[in-house]
Amino acid sequence: MGLIMLFVTSITFFIVRLLPGDPVFLLVGDHPTEEQIEKAKNDFGLNEPIYKQYMVFLQKTIMLDLGVSLRTKQPVLTELSKRFSATFELVFFSMIIALLFGFPMGLVSALNQNKRLDYFFRGFGYLGLSIPVFWLGMILQIIFFGILYWLPLQGRYSGIVLQDSPIIYNSGFILIDSFFSGEWGSFTDALRHIILPAFAMAFGVLGIVFRTTRSATIDTMSAPFFRTFKFYGIKNSEIIKKSGYKNTLIPVSTVVGLSFGLMLGGTFLVESIFDWPGVGQFSVLSILTRDFPAIVGVTILYSFIYVIINFFIDMLYVIIDPRIRD
């Protein structure tokens, strides 16, 4: 985990600094003087050799000092902490949607292999894998906001609703805070805002979860224990319901961990389309302005989350299948 973090961080550091353009002009404006440019380079250490900048960067990163955003003039860690809850809530909600639909669809499709229902689900899964997330997001906005007027166009919540309904808990996760505070107006409002961006992100991952579950279930149905149960007259659906589905949990858990990283990358596009105030939107603005402290900070955060989630999924294997302990 440490080597992965070091490798990703180092690659990002050098790529950002070797790209064309000078981030100093973001600090000093359009028509700076030579003194202003020199002062900005001294303040941010940009006049030092790149290897010295790299060593200083590693030392500060270990101390959780990610520097100051060149665009907002605020510490990068502060900017990320303010936006992290919005992004994590969106990604977590999207993953729940993908699992709630993809996993049962995979089981049902395997039980009805080569039948009409199987063909329908497989087509739906391939559709999810092939549709670009940014295109789907805009289509959902056109349909559910522009035509039907069912759901809001963008944003995370309606400001008026939250002002009228003060929330007791303040963890940053609006759905959880409003739910446990009993503020159902705020909860409903936040839920309506998150549905479209979450579904846009979940659609592609749903196809991955579906295909993995279907393949694992079909392999399980050819296992000796499954044939033994069938010999005793037990239906396929009953075997899957009582025992067989457990054999699919290991590959599905692996896919969930990998898909979480895929969704984190998807937030760059989805949050920009839906004006979602999260890390993804902050990242896009930082890239467009070549705000390299913010870019590196986002990369470190996303890499850390991705590595940690996959670590916990590896630990989950032991709980799902105790045979791994041997």
Phi/psi at 68 (5° precision): -115, 135
Q: Which of 156-165, 181-190, 217-226, 301-310 has the lowest mean pLDDT?
A: 156-165
In this prediction, residue 326 has a pLDDT band, given cuts at 50, 70 and 90, of low
Closest CA to 65 of 77, 51, 48, 81: 77
pLDDT (0 to 100) of residue 160: 58
pLDDT tens figures, 160-202: 555 555 666 566 777 887 777 777 777 888 888 889 998 988 8
Distance between CA atoms of residues 237 and 101, nearest Å:
18
The residues pairing with 75 across neighbouring beta strands, listed in sequence order, are: 68
Residue for token pair 């979480």: 260
Which one-letter amino acid corresponds to residue 322? P
Phi/psi at 75 (5° precision): -55, 135
Contacts of 286 (CB under 8 A, 6+ apart): 69, 71, 294, 295, 298
Give me the mean pLDDT over the 79-89 stretch.
87
Distance linking the first and last C-alpha atoms of the chain: 24
In this prediction, residue 207 has a pLDDT band, given cuts at 50, 70 and 90, of confident
pLDDT, mean over the chain:
80
CA 76 centroid distance within chain: 19
pLDDT (0 to 100) of residue 177: 78
Region for 173 from its dihedrals, namely left if φ exceeds 0, alpha if ψ lies in -120 to 50, beta otherwise: beta
E strand segments, 185-307: none
Q: What is the dihedral of CA 136, 140, 143, 148, to 10 degrees?
A: 170
Task: Report the percentage of the chain scoring pLDDT > 90.
Answer: 0
Distance between CA atoms of residues 115 and 121, nearest Å:
10
> Do 50 and 269 meet the contact criterion of CB atoms below 8 Å apart?
no
Give just the sign of the alpha carbon dihedral 188, 192, 198, 203: positive
Region for 157 from its dihedrals, namely left if φ exceeds 0, alpha if ψ lies in -120 to 50, beta otherwise: beta
> Do 12 and 295 meet the contact criterion of CB atoms below 8 Å apart?
yes
Task: Break the chain into its structural domains and give their ranges.
Answer: 2-62, 76-132+197-325
Q: Which CATH architecture has domain 76-132+197-325?
A: Orthogonal Bundle (1.10)
Q: Which of the two residues, 231 and 325, has the higher pLDDT score?
A: 231
Residues 188-216 as b/e (b if ≥16 CB within 10 A, e otherwise) read ebbbebbbbbbbbbbbbbbbbbbbbbbeb
Distance between CA atoms of residues 20 and 277, nearest Å:
28
Contacts of 245 (CB under 8 A, 6+ apart): 107, 217
Distance between CA atoms of residues 312 and 253, nearest Å:
10
pLDDT (0 to 100) of residue 167: 63
Question: DSSP code of 46?
Answer: T
Give me the mean pLDDT over the 30-47 stretch.
67
